[in-house]
Structure 1
Protein backbone atom coordinates (compact mmCIF):
# COMPACT_ATOMS: atom_id res chain seq x y z
CA UNK A 1 0.00 0.00 0.00
CA UNK A 2 1.30 3.46 -0.95
CA UNK A 3 0.15 6.21 1.41
CA UNK A 4 0.47 9.95 0.80
CA UNK A 5 0.45 11.95 4.05
CA UNK A 6 -0.13 15.69 4.24
CA UNK A 7 -1.57 18.31 6.61
CA UNK A 8 -2.18 22.02 7.09
CA UNK A 9 -0.13 22.52 10.28
CA UNK A 10 3.18 22.31 8.42
CA UNK A 11 5.57 19.49 7.62
CA UNK A 12 7.31 19.57 11.01
CA UNK A 13 4.14 19.52 13.14
CA UNK A 14 3.86 16.82 15.82
CA UNK A 15 0.61 15.43 14.43
CA UNK A 16 1.94 14.59 10.97
CA UNK A 17 5.05 13.01 12.46
CA UNK A 18 3.07 10.63 14.67
CA UNK A 19 0.65 9.83 11.86
CA UNK A 20 3.33 9.10 9.26
CA UNK A 21 5.33 6.88 11.63
CA UNK A 22 2.24 4.84 12.50
CA UNK A 23 1.17 4.48 8.86
CA UNK A 24 4.60 3.02 8.07
CA UNK A 25 3.37 -0.14 9.80
CA UNK A 26 0.86 -0.78 7.00
CA UNK A 27 2.51 0.59 3.87
CA UNK A 28 5.00 2.81 2.08
CA UNK A 29 4.61 6.40 3.31
CA UNK A 30 5.46 9.56 1.39
CA UNK A 31 5.00 12.94 3.08
CA UNK A 32 4.25 16.04 1.00
CA UNK A 33 3.18 18.92 3.22
CA UNK A 34 3.28 22.72 3.47
CA UNK A 35 6.54 24.30 4.62
CA UNK A 36 4.63 26.31 7.23
CA UNK A 37 1.20 26.37 8.86
CA UNK A 38 -1.63 26.81 6.35
CA UNK A 39 -4.66 26.47 8.61
CA UNK A 40 -8.04 27.76 7.36
CA UNK A 41 -6.82 28.07 3.77
CA UNK A 42 -9.74 25.99 2.54
CA UNK A 43 -9.31 24.59 -0.96
CA UNK A 44 -7.04 27.36 -2.22
CA UNK A 45 -4.47 26.47 -4.88
CA UNK A 46 -1.45 28.48 -6.01
CA UNK A 47 -1.62 29.86 -9.56
CA UNK A 48 0.14 33.24 -9.45
CA UNK A 49 3.67 32.17 -8.50
CA UNK A 50 5.79 29.01 -8.70
CA UNK A 51 5.50 26.18 -6.19
CA UNK A 52 8.91 25.61 -4.65
CA UNK A 53 9.57 22.09 -3.37
CA UNK A 54 12.39 20.97 -1.07
CA UNK A 55 13.23 17.40 -0.18
CA UNK A 56 13.71 17.29 3.60
CA UNK A 57 14.87 15.00 6.37
CA UNK A 58 11.65 14.02 8.14
CA UNK A 59 12.51 14.00 11.84
CA UNK A 60 14.27 10.75 12.81
CA UNK A 61 12.73 8.64 10.01
CA UNK A 62 13.73 7.41 6.58
CA UNK A 63 10.40 8.58 5.12
CA UNK A 64 10.60 10.29 1.73
CA UNK A 65 9.39 13.81 2.47
CA UNK A 66 8.88 17.06 0.55
CA UNK A 67 8.25 20.55 1.91
CA UNK A 68 6.06 22.70 -0.38
CA UNK A 69 5.64 26.49 -0.41
CA UNK A 70 1.92 26.10 -1.01
CA UNK A 71 -1.43 25.02 0.36
CA UNK A 72 -2.56 21.54 1.42
CA UNK A 73 -4.51 21.16 -1.83
CA UNK A 74 -1.35 22.16 -3.75
CA UNK A 75 0.56 19.42 -1.92
CA UNK A 76 -1.82 16.67 -3.03
CA UNK A 77 -2.04 17.86 -6.65
CA UNK A 78 1.72 18.27 -6.87
CA UNK A 79 2.45 14.91 -5.27
CA UNK A 80 0.09 12.94 -7.50
CA UNK A 81 0.80 14.73 -10.78
CA UNK A 82 4.52 15.51 -10.49
CA UNK A 83 6.41 14.00 -7.56
CA UNK A 84 5.05 10.45 -7.57
CA UNK A 85 5.50 9.65 -11.24
CA UNK A 86 6.27 5.99 -10.45
CA UNK A 87 2.75 5.40 -9.15
CA UNK A 88 -0.02 7.37 -7.49
CA UNK A 89 -0.94 6.66 -3.86
CA UNK A 90 -3.57 4.10 -2.91
CA UNK A 91 -4.86 6.45 -0.23
CA UNK A 92 -4.25 9.99 1.07
CA UNK A 93 -4.34 10.69 4.83
CA UNK A 94 -4.38 14.33 5.97
CA UNK A 95 -3.57 15.28 9.57
CA UNK A 96 -3.39 14.85 12.42
CA UNK A 97 -4.76 18.35 12.82
CA UNK A 98 -4.10 20.34 16.00
CA UNK A 99 -7.76 20.95 16.82
CA UNK A 100 -11.18 19.91 15.48
CA UNK A 101 -12.70 20.12 12.01
CA UNK A 102 -16.38 19.81 12.78
CA UNK A 103 -19.61 20.71 11.03
CA UNK A 104 -19.52 23.54 8.55
CA UNK A 105 -15.92 24.36 9.55
CA UNK A 106 -14.81 21.68 7.07
CA UNK A 107 -15.32 24.29 4.33
CA UNK A 108 -12.49 26.41 5.78
CA UNK A 109 -10.22 23.52 6.72
CA UNK A 110 -6.94 22.98 4.89
CA UNK A 111 -6.76 19.51 6.45
CA UNK A 112 -10.10 18.48 4.97
CA UNK A 113 -9.43 20.25 1.66
CA UNK A 114 -6.32 18.15 1.08
CA UNK A 115 -8.47 15.04 1.45
CA UNK A 116 -11.12 16.53 -0.84
CA UNK A 117 -8.46 17.15 -3.51
CA UNK A 118 -7.52 13.47 -3.32
CA UNK A 119 -11.16 12.44 -3.78
CA UNK A 120 -11.44 14.72 -6.83
CA UNK A 121 -8.49 12.75 -8.24
CA UNK A 122 -10.30 9.44 -7.52
CA UNK A 123 -8.07 8.53 -4.57
CA UNK A 124 -9.65 7.37 -1.28
CA UNK A 125 -8.89 9.85 1.49
CA UNK A 126 -9.09 10.48 5.21
CA UNK A 127 -8.87 13.75 7.15
CA UNK A 128 -8.19 13.29 10.85
CA UNK A 129 -8.24 15.95 13.56
CA UNK A 130 -8.01 16.10 17.33
CA UNK A 131 -11.21 17.11 19.13
CA UNK A 132 -9.58 20.12 20.79
CA UNK A 133 -6.21 21.84 21.04
CA UNK A 134 -5.74 20.46 24.59
CA UNK A 135 -3.84 17.49 23.18
CA UNK A 136 -2.40 14.82 25.46
CA UNK A 137 -0.84 12.77 22.65
CA UNK A 138 -1.47 11.81 19.02
CA UNK A 139 -0.63 8.09 19.21
CA UNK A 140 -4.16 6.71 19.69
CA UNK A 141 -5.57 8.86 16.89
CA UNK A 142 -2.76 7.72 14.58
CA UNK A 143 -3.51 4.07 15.36
CA UNK A 144 -7.18 4.67 14.58
CA UNK A 145 -6.27 6.34 11.28
CA UNK A 146 -4.32 3.20 10.32
CA UNK A 147 -7.32 0.99 10.96
CA UNK A 148 -9.56 3.31 8.97
CA UNK A 149 -7.10 3.36 6.05
CA UNK A 150 -7.12 -0.43 5.91
CA UNK A 151 -10.92 -0.50 6.19
CA UNK A 152 -11.34 2.02 3.35
CA UNK A 153 -9.12 -0.01 1.05
CA UNK A 154 -11.27 -3.07 1.79
CA UNK A 155 -14.26 -1.06 0.54
CA UNK A 156 -13.03 0.46 -2.69
CA UNK A 157 -16.61 1.16 -3.77
CA UNK A 158 -16.47 4.38 -1.70
CA UNK A 159 -15.99 6.47 -4.83
CA UNK A 160 -15.44 10.22 -4.34
CA UNK A 161 -15.92 9.91 -0.58
CA UNK A 162 -13.82 11.66 2.06
CA UNK A 163 -13.86 10.28 5.59
CA UNK A 164 -13.58 13.13 8.11
CA UNK A 165 -12.54 11.93 11.59
CA UNK A 166 -12.50 13.90 14.83
CA UNK A 167 -10.77 12.10 17.70
CA UNK A 168 -11.53 13.00 21.34
CA UNK A 169 -8.69 14.51 23.35
CA UNK A 170 -9.15 12.32 26.39
CA UNK A 171 -7.65 9.13 27.78
CA UNK A 172 -8.23 6.07 25.59
CA UNK A 173 -10.24 4.34 28.31
CA UNK A 174 -12.63 7.31 28.42
CA UNK A 175 -13.56 7.00 24.72
CA UNK A 176 -17.02 5.42 24.45
CA UNK A 177 -16.57 4.14 20.90
CA UNK A 178 -16.96 5.47 17.38
CA UNK A 179 -20.00 6.81 15.55
CA UNK A 180 -20.73 7.41 11.89
CA UNK A 181 -22.03 10.97 11.94
CA UNK A 182 -23.39 13.83 9.88
CA UNK A 183 -21.89 17.32 9.72
CA UNK A 184 -23.25 19.50 12.47
CA UNK A 185 -23.85 23.24 12.33
CA UNK A 186 -20.96 25.39 13.48
CA UNK A 187 -21.42 29.17 13.73
CA UNK A 188 -19.43 31.88 15.45
CA UNK A 189 -20.02 35.23 17.06
CA UNK A 190 -17.32 36.92 15.03
CA UNK A 191 -15.45 39.75 16.69
CA UNK A 192 -13.16 41.93 14.65
CA UNK A 193 -10.69 43.64 16.95
CA UNK A 194 -9.64 46.98 15.48
CA UNK A 195 -6.16 48.31 16.17
CA UNK A 196 -3.91 50.97 14.73
CA UNK A 197 -0.39 50.72 13.43
CA UNK A 198 2.27 53.33 14.34
CA UNK A 199 1.15 55.47 11.40
CA UNK A 200 -2.44 55.61 12.59
CA UNK A 201 -3.83 53.21 9.98
CA UNK A 202 -6.49 50.76 11.13
CA UNK A 203 -6.12 47.00 10.89
CA UNK A 204 -8.23 44.14 12.19
CA UNK A 205 -7.65 40.83 13.97
CA UNK A 206 -10.36 38.23 13.42
CA UNK A 207 -11.55 36.45 16.52
CA UNK A 208 -14.60 34.29 17.11
CA UNK A 209 -16.53 32.42 19.80
CA UNK A 210 -18.48 29.27 18.94
CA UNK A 211 -22.24 29.76 19.33
CA UNK A 212 -24.10 26.97 21.11
CA UNK A 213 -26.63 25.57 18.63
CA UNK A 214 -29.10 22.72 18.66
CA UNK A 215 -27.58 19.79 16.80
CA UNK A 216 -28.96 16.69 15.15
CA UNK A 217 -28.51 13.64 17.38
CA UNK A 218 -26.34 12.17 14.61
CA UNK A 219 -24.03 15.18 14.31
CA UNK A 220 -20.26 15.02 14.63
CA UNK A 221 -20.39 17.82 17.20
CA UNK A 222 -22.61 15.90 19.63
CA UNK A 223 -20.63 12.68 19.14
CA UNK A 224 -17.35 14.38 20.01
CA UNK A 225 -18.88 16.15 23.02
CA UNK A 226 -19.91 12.72 24.31
CA UNK A 227 -16.37 11.29 23.88
CA UNK A 228 -17.14 9.33 20.72
CA UNK A 229 -14.83 9.30 17.71
CA UNK A 230 -16.85 10.94 14.95
CA UNK A 231 -16.55 9.50 11.43
CA UNK A 232 -18.30 11.60 8.80
CA UNK A 233 -18.43 10.62 5.13
CA UNK A 234 -18.45 13.81 3.05
CA UNK A 235 -18.50 14.67 -0.65
CA UNK A 236 -17.40 17.57 -2.81
CA UNK A 237 -20.62 17.82 -4.85
CA UNK A 238 -22.27 20.92 -3.35
CA UNK A 239 -25.44 20.66 -5.46
CA UNK A 240 -28.61 21.15 -3.40
CA UNK A 241 -30.70 18.46 -5.05
CA UNK A 242 -34.07 19.30 -3.45
CA UNK A 243 -33.79 22.87 -4.73
CA UNK A 244 -32.49 21.57 -8.06
CA UNK A 245 -35.75 19.66 -8.62
CA UNK A 246 -37.86 22.65 -7.53
CA UNK A 247 -36.01 25.14 -9.74
CA UNK A 248 -36.47 22.98 -12.82
CA UNK A 249 -40.19 23.75 -12.53
CA UNK A 250 -39.70 27.53 -12.45
CA UNK A 251 -39.69 27.93 -16.23
CA UNK A 252 -37.12 30.70 -16.02
CA UNK A 253 -37.30 32.92 -19.09
CA UNK A 254 -34.49 34.85 -20.79
Structure 2
Protein backbone atom coordinates (compact mmCIF):
# COMPACT_ATOMS: atom_id res chain seq x y z
CA UNK A 1 0.00 0.00 0.00
CA UNK A 2 0.99 3.61 -0.52
CA UNK A 3 0.38 6.17 2.23
CA UNK A 4 0.41 9.95 2.34
CA UNK A 5 0.99 11.40 5.81
CA UNK A 6 0.45 14.96 7.00
CA UNK A 7 -0.41 16.78 10.22
CA UNK A 8 -0.80 20.24 11.75
CA UNK A 9 1.94 20.06 14.41
CA UNK A 10 4.73 20.33 11.84
CA UNK A 11 7.09 17.92 10.12
CA UNK A 12 9.38 17.79 13.19
CA UNK A 13 6.72 16.57 15.66
CA UNK A 14 7.10 13.24 17.50
CA UNK A 15 3.60 12.18 16.44
CA UNK A 16 4.26 12.32 12.72
CA UNK A 17 7.58 10.53 13.16
CA UNK A 18 5.85 7.72 15.07
CA UNK A 19 3.12 7.51 12.44
CA UNK A 20 5.61 7.35 9.56
CA UNK A 21 7.66 4.64 11.27
CA UNK A 22 4.50 2.62 11.90
CA UNK A 23 3.12 2.84 8.37
CA UNK A 24 6.55 2.19 6.80
CA UNK A 25 6.23 -1.38 8.10
CA UNK A 26 3.15 -1.82 5.92
CA UNK A 27 3.93 -0.02 2.68
CA UNK A 28 5.41 3.01 0.96
CA UNK A 29 5.25 6.25 2.94
CA UNK A 30 5.41 9.85 1.73
CA UNK A 31 5.29 12.68 4.28
CA UNK A 32 4.21 16.23 3.41
CA UNK A 33 3.62 18.43 6.46
CA UNK A 34 3.71 22.10 7.45
CA UNK A 35 7.08 23.68 8.20
CA UNK A 36 5.78 24.88 11.58
CA UNK A 37 2.94 24.29 13.99
CA UNK A 38 -0.33 25.17 12.22
CA UNK A 39 -2.78 23.98 14.87
CA UNK A 40 -6.17 25.61 14.43
CA UNK A 41 -5.59 26.35 10.73
CA UNK A 42 -8.78 24.48 9.82
CA UNK A 43 -9.43 23.95 6.09
CA UNK A 44 -7.68 27.08 4.84
CA UNK A 45 -5.85 27.09 1.51
CA UNK A 46 -3.07 29.57 0.75
CA UNK A 47 -4.17 31.50 -2.34
CA UNK A 48 -2.38 34.84 -1.92
CA UNK A 49 1.21 33.68 -2.44
CA UNK A 50 3.16 30.77 -3.95
CA UNK A 51 4.19 27.83 -1.80
CA UNK A 52 7.52 26.06 -1.53
CA UNK A 53 8.24 22.41 -0.78
CA UNK A 54 11.52 21.40 0.83
CA UNK A 55 12.91 18.09 2.05
CA UNK A 56 14.30 17.56 5.53
CA UNK A 57 17.27 15.35 6.36
CA UNK A 58 14.93 12.52 7.43
CA UNK A 59 13.23 12.49 4.03
CA UNK A 60 10.06 14.28 5.12
CA UNK A 61 8.81 17.08 2.88
CA UNK A 62 7.61 20.33 4.42
CA UNK A 63 5.56 23.20 3.05
CA UNK A 64 5.32 26.86 4.08
CA UNK A 65 1.55 26.57 4.22
CA UNK A 66 -1.38 24.93 5.94
CA UNK A 67 -2.21 21.24 6.45
CA UNK A 68 -4.76 21.51 3.65
CA UNK A 69 -2.09 22.98 1.38
CA UNK A 70 0.17 20.02 2.13
CA UNK A 71 -2.34 17.35 1.13
CA UNK A 72 -3.63 19.31 -1.86
CA UNK A 73 -0.13 19.88 -3.24
CA UNK A 74 0.87 16.29 -2.65
CA UNK A 75 -2.12 14.69 -4.36
CA UNK A 76 -2.56 17.16 -7.23
CA UNK A 77 1.04 17.61 -8.32
CA UNK A 78 3.84 16.54 -6.02
CA UNK A 79 3.34 12.76 -5.96
CA UNK A 80 3.82 10.50 -8.95
CA UNK A 81 1.30 8.04 -7.49
CA UNK A 82 -2.16 8.19 -5.97
CA UNK A 83 -2.14 7.24 -2.27
CA UNK A 84 -4.26 4.31 -1.15
CA UNK A 85 -4.89 6.02 2.18
CA UNK A 86 -4.11 9.32 3.88
CA UNK A 87 -3.29 9.59 7.58
CA UNK A 88 -3.10 12.90 9.43
CA UNK A 89 -1.39 13.00 12.83
CA UNK A 90 -0.56 11.71 15.29
CA UNK A 91 -1.77 14.98 16.82
CA UNK A 92 -0.52 15.99 20.26
CA UNK A 93 -3.84 16.65 21.97
CA UNK A 94 -7.48 15.71 21.37
CA UNK A 95 -9.65 16.69 18.42
CA UNK A 96 -13.17 16.00 19.65
CA UNK A 97 -16.55 17.68 19.46
CA UNK A 98 -16.38 21.25 18.20
CA UNK A 99 -12.57 20.98 17.96
CA UNK A 100 -12.99 19.30 14.58
CA UNK A 101 -14.19 22.57 13.04
CA UNK A 102 -10.89 24.30 13.80
CA UNK A 103 -8.49 21.35 13.68
CA UNK A 104 -5.73 21.35 11.10
CA UNK A 105 -5.28 17.63 11.75
CA UNK A 106 -8.86 16.94 10.71
CA UNK A 107 -8.55 19.44 7.85
CA UNK A 108 -5.64 17.55 6.28
CA UNK A 109 -7.67 14.34 6.32
CA UNK A 110 -10.71 16.22 5.03
CA UNK A 111 -8.78 17.41 1.98
CA UNK A 112 -7.81 13.83 1.21
CA UNK A 113 -11.44 12.77 1.51
CA UNK A 114 -12.53 15.58 -0.83
CA UNK A 115 -9.98 14.28 -3.33
CA UNK A 116 -11.57 10.84 -3.16
CA UNK A 117 -9.08 9.04 -0.91
CA UNK A 118 -9.94 7.21 2.34
CA UNK A 119 -8.56 9.47 5.07
CA UNK A 120 -8.05 9.16 8.81
CA UNK A 121 -7.28 11.94 11.30
CA UNK A 122 -5.57 10.54 14.38
CA UNK A 123 -5.10 12.33 17.70
CA UNK A 124 -3.59 11.41 21.04
CA UNK A 125 -6.28 12.65 23.41
CA UNK A 126 -4.07 14.02 26.17
CA UNK A 127 -1.52 16.77 26.57
CA UNK A 128 1.29 14.84 28.25
CA UNK A 129 2.25 13.17 24.96
CA UNK A 130 3.61 10.11 26.73
CA UNK A 131 1.98 7.30 24.76
CA UNK A 132 2.29 7.86 21.03
CA UNK A 133 3.02 4.13 20.78
CA UNK A 134 -0.55 3.46 21.93
CA UNK A 135 -1.86 5.53 19.02
CA UNK A 136 0.54 3.69 16.70
CA UNK A 137 -0.97 0.40 17.92
CA UNK A 138 -4.42 1.70 16.97
CA UNK A 139 -3.15 2.68 13.51
CA UNK A 140 -2.05 -0.89 12.91
CA UNK A 141 -5.42 -2.21 14.10
CA UNK A 142 -7.25 0.09 11.70
CA UNK A 143 -4.95 -0.84 8.86
CA UNK A 144 -5.40 -4.55 9.53
CA UNK A 145 -9.17 -4.12 9.43
CA UNK A 146 -8.98 -2.12 6.20
CA UNK A 147 -6.91 -4.83 4.54
CA UNK A 148 -9.30 -7.53 5.67
CA UNK A 149 -12.32 -5.63 4.39
CA UNK A 150 -11.54 -2.59 2.23
CA UNK A 151 -14.14 0.14 2.36
CA UNK A 152 -16.22 0.39 -0.79
CA UNK A 153 -16.03 4.18 -0.94
CA UNK A 154 -13.83 6.93 0.54
CA UNK A 155 -14.49 7.70 4.19
CA UNK A 156 -13.33 10.39 6.60
CA UNK A 157 -12.66 9.08 10.10
CA UNK A 158 -11.78 11.15 13.15
CA UNK A 159 -9.94 8.90 15.62
CA UNK A 160 -8.98 9.87 19.16
CA UNK A 161 -6.82 7.60 21.33
CA UNK A 162 -6.46 7.94 25.12
CA UNK A 163 -2.96 8.95 26.23
CA UNK A 164 -2.49 5.78 28.28
CA UNK A 165 -0.36 2.61 28.11
CA UNK A 166 -1.50 -0.01 25.60
CA UNK A 167 -2.36 -2.51 28.32
CA UNK A 168 -4.92 -0.07 29.76
CA UNK A 169 -6.60 0.59 26.42
CA UNK A 170 -10.18 -0.62 25.99
CA UNK A 171 -12.03 -1.39 22.76
CA UNK A 172 -12.73 0.83 19.78
CA UNK A 173 -16.10 2.56 19.81
CA UNK A 174 -17.91 4.19 16.91
CA UNK A 175 -19.03 7.55 18.26
CA UNK A 176 -20.69 10.83 17.41
CA UNK A 177 -19.18 14.23 18.06
CA UNK A 178 -19.92 15.71 21.46
CA UNK A 179 -20.27 19.43 22.15
CA UNK A 180 -18.37 21.89 24.29
CA UNK A 181 -19.44 24.94 26.24
CA UNK A 182 -18.43 28.28 24.82
CA UNK A 183 -14.69 28.93 24.94
CA UNK A 184 -13.17 30.73 27.90
CA UNK A 185 -12.70 34.53 27.62
CA UNK A 186 -9.73 35.93 25.73
CA UNK A 187 -6.61 36.70 27.74
CA UNK A 188 -5.44 40.32 27.63
CA UNK A 189 -1.80 41.31 27.96
CA UNK A 190 0.57 44.15 27.04
CA UNK A 191 3.36 43.96 24.49
CA UNK A 192 6.69 45.79 25.01
CA UNK A 193 5.21 48.89 23.31
CA UNK A 194 2.40 49.03 25.82
CA UNK A 195 -0.24 47.97 23.30
CA UNK A 196 -3.02 45.65 24.38
CA UNK A 197 -2.78 42.19 22.82
CA UNK A 198 -5.11 39.24 23.05
CA UNK A 199 -4.63 35.49 23.33
CA UNK A 200 -7.54 33.29 22.35
CA UNK A 201 -8.74 31.57 25.51
CA UNK A 202 -8.76 27.82 26.15
CA UNK A 203 -11.55 25.57 24.96
CA UNK A 204 -14.51 25.18 27.28
CA UNK A 205 -15.48 22.06 29.16
CA UNK A 206 -17.64 19.42 27.49
CA UNK A 207 -21.34 20.27 27.42
CA UNK A 208 -22.54 17.14 25.64
CA UNK A 209 -20.38 14.25 26.76
CA UNK A 210 -23.10 11.66 27.16
CA UNK A 211 -23.15 8.02 26.07
CA UNK A 212 -22.12 7.53 22.46
CA UNK A 213 -20.00 10.69 22.24
CA UNK A 214 -16.28 10.88 21.58
CA UNK A 215 -15.81 12.51 24.99
CA UNK A 216 -17.47 9.58 26.75
CA UNK A 217 -15.38 7.05 24.86
CA UNK A 218 -12.11 8.72 25.83
CA UNK A 219 -13.21 9.08 29.45
CA UNK A 220 -13.80 5.32 29.50
CA UNK A 221 -10.34 4.63 28.02
CA UNK A 222 -11.83 3.58 24.68
CA UNK A 223 -10.67 4.59 21.22
CA UNK A 224 -13.17 6.97 19.64
CA UNK A 225 -13.83 6.49 15.91
CA UNK A 226 -16.18 9.10 14.44
CA UNK A 227 -17.17 9.04 10.76
CA UNK A 228 -17.49 12.62 9.49
CA UNK A 229 -19.46 14.16 6.63
CA UNK A 230 -19.11 17.50 4.85
CA UNK A 231 -22.64 18.35 3.72
CA UNK A 232 -23.45 21.44 5.82
CA UNK A 233 -26.98 21.76 4.50
CA UNK A 234 -29.54 22.14 7.32
CA UNK A 235 -32.12 19.85 5.74
CA UNK A 236 -34.55 20.29 8.62
CA UNK A 237 -34.77 24.02 7.86
CA UNK A 238 -35.32 23.82 4.09
CA UNK A 239 -39.13 23.97 4.31
CA UNK A 240 -39.08 26.66 7.00
CA UNK A 241 -36.72 28.94 5.09
CA UNK A 242 -38.71 28.36 1.88
CA UNK A 243 -41.88 29.52 3.68
CA UNK A 244 -40.03 32.48 5.16
CA UNK A 245 -38.81 33.60 1.73
CA UNK A 246 -42.05 32.83 -0.08
CA UNK A 247 -44.93 33.26 2.41
TM-score class, shorter? over 0.9
Q: CA deviation at 1:4?
A: 0.1
Number of corresponding residues: 246
Corresponding position: 1:142 with 2:136: yes
Classify 1:144/1:46 alpha carbon distance in 2 versus 1 (closer, same or farther; 3 Å): same
- The structure 2 residue matched to 1:79, chosen from 74, 77, 90, is 74
Residue of structure 2 in register with 1:252 after alignment: 245
Classify 1:155/1:40 alpha carbon distance in 2 versus 1 (closer, same or farther; 3 Å): same
Classify 1:212/1:82 alpha carbon distance in 2 versus 1 (closer, same or farther; 3 Å): closer
- The structure 2 residue matched to 1:192, chosen from 186, 191, 201, is 186
Corresponding position: 1:39 with 2:32: no
Corresponding position: 1:26 with 2:19: no
> SS state of the match for residue 208, structure 1?
coil
Q: TM-score, normalised by structure 1?
A: 0.91
Residue of structure 2 in register with 1:106 after alignment: 100
Q: Report the Cα distance in structure 2 between the residues aligned to 1:158 and 1:151, rounded to whole angstroms.
A: 15
> SS state of the match for residue 134, structure 1?
coil
Counterparts in 2 of 1:153-168, with a 5 A limit? Answer: 154-159=149-154, 161-168=155-162
Q: Report the Cα distance in structure 2 between the residues aligned to 1:151 and 1:216, rounded to whole angstroms.
A: 28
Q: CA deviation at 1:246?
A: 4.1
TM-superposition CA deviations, 1:88-142 (whole Å, max 9, x none): 1111000000000001110000000000000100000000000111222211211
Q: Report the Cα distance in structure 1 between the residues aligned to 2:116 and 2:65, rounded to whole angstroms.
A: 22
> SS state of the match for residue 50, structure 1?
coil
Q: Report the Cα distance in structure 2 between the residues aligned to 1:147 and 1:247, rounded to whole angstroms.
A: 45
Residue of structure 2 in register with 1:207 after alignment: 201
Q: CA deviation at 1:245?
A: 4.5
Q: Report the Cα distance in structure 1 between the residues aligned to 2:203 and 2:54, rounded to whole angstroms.
A: 37
Root-mean-square deviation over aligned CA pairs: 1.8
Q: TM-score, normalised by structure 2?
A: 0.93
8 Å contact kept, 1:119–1:162 = yes
8 Å contact kept, 1:34–1:75 = yes
Classify 1:169/1:147 alpha carbon distance in 2 versus 1 (closer, same or farther; 3 Å): same
Classify 1:212/1:236 alpha carbon distance in 2 versus 1 (closer, same or farther; 3 Å): closer
Classify 1:200/1:33 alpha carbon distance in 2 versus 1 (closer, same or farther; 3 Å): same
Classify 1:170/1:212 alpha carbon distance in 2 versus 1 (closer, same or farther; 3 Å): same
Q: Report the Cα distance in structure 2 between the residues aligned to 1:43 and 1:187, rounded to whole angstroms.
A: 23
Corresponding position: 1:181 with 2:175: yes
> SS state of the match for residue 222, structure 1?
helix
> SS state of the match for residue 224, structure 1?
helix
Gaps of 5+ in 1: 59-63
8 Å contact kept, 2:214–2:225 = yes
